[in-house]
């Protein structure tokens, strides 16, 4: 994996573990020679990822919609800052420029990005691994929900492992690198749906 799209919040929660984790991810990816593609902001977890990756000599590409350039206070010190018109173009650029996705804690926008990456993988629009770094148990409820989707039958058995989760970055990256190709919905017969 040469570049990873990182989805995370632009907020700075009171608990420092979230910012510390973002800094660790940015620094660790840069030290491994893995570039970061992210939302282009300089605040919160976004800024922590970007700054730590840059400080470690890494490549950081920010993708930010025009409407959010001033609102999110775009990071002007990146390797590259791409300004796009829409959120859809932003997410498409994340997919086009990366070899996989890692989601850190965040809010509604982060969830939108994660669910689209998962949906596109399930449909076969990309074959890239989708990882979730479960910092301080932040995503425990989401992981329980994913299990429920599978138990009820809304998540097919072929896609049960589509979301790769861990609370440890090294473990997560290893699992992502080892992911085997999934049978996508577009590869299935109508009788399998």
- Which residue in the block uniquely carries the two structure tokens 């148990």? 137
Number of domains in the chain: 1
Residues in CB range of 18: below 8 A, 6 or more apart:
9, 12, 45, 104, 105, 135, 136, 138
Contact between 132 and 154 under an 8 Å Cβ cutoff? The reply is no
> What is the C-alpha to C-alpha distance for residues 114 and 110, in angstroms, rounded to an integer?
6
90: its two tokens: 């932003």
Q: What is the pTM of this model?
A: 0.92
* CATH number of the domain within which 37 lies: 3.40.50.450
Task: Please provide the size of the chain in residues.
Answer: 193
What's the pLDDT score for residue 156? Answer: 76
User: pLDDT tens digits, the chain, 193 residues: what are they?
Assistant: 999 999 999 999 999 999 999 999 999 999 999 999 999 999 999 999 999 999 999 999 999 999 888 776 899 999 999 999 999 999 999 999 999 999 999 999 999 999 999 999 998 899 999 999 999 999 999 999 999 999 998 877 777 889 999 999 999 999 999 998 776 666 656 666 5
Domain span including residue 35: 3-192
């Amino acid at each position: 994996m040469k570049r990873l799209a990182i989805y995370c919040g632009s907020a700075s929660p009171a608990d420092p573990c979230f910012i510390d984790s973002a800094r660790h991810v940015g620094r660790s990816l840069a030290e491994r020679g893995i570039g970061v593609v992210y939302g282009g902001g300089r605040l919160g977890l976004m800024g922590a990822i970007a700054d730590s990756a840059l400080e470690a000599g890494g490549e950081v590409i920010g993708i930010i919609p025009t409407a959010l350039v001033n609102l999110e206070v775009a990071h002007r010190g990146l390797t590259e800052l791409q300004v796009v018109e829409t959120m859809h173009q932003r997410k498409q650029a994340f997919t086009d420029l990366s070899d996989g996705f890692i989601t850190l804690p965040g809010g509604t926008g982060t969830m939108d990005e994660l669910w689209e990456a998962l949906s596109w993988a399930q449909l076969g629009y990309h074959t890239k691994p989708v990882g979730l770094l479960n910092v301080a148990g932040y995503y425990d409820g989401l992981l329980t929900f994913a299990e429920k989707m599978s138990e009820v039958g809304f998540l097919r058995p072929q896609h049960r492992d589509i979301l790769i989760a861990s609370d440890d970055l090294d473990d997560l990256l290893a699992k992502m690198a080892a992911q085997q190709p999934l049978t996508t919905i577009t590869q299935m017969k109508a009788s399998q749906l």
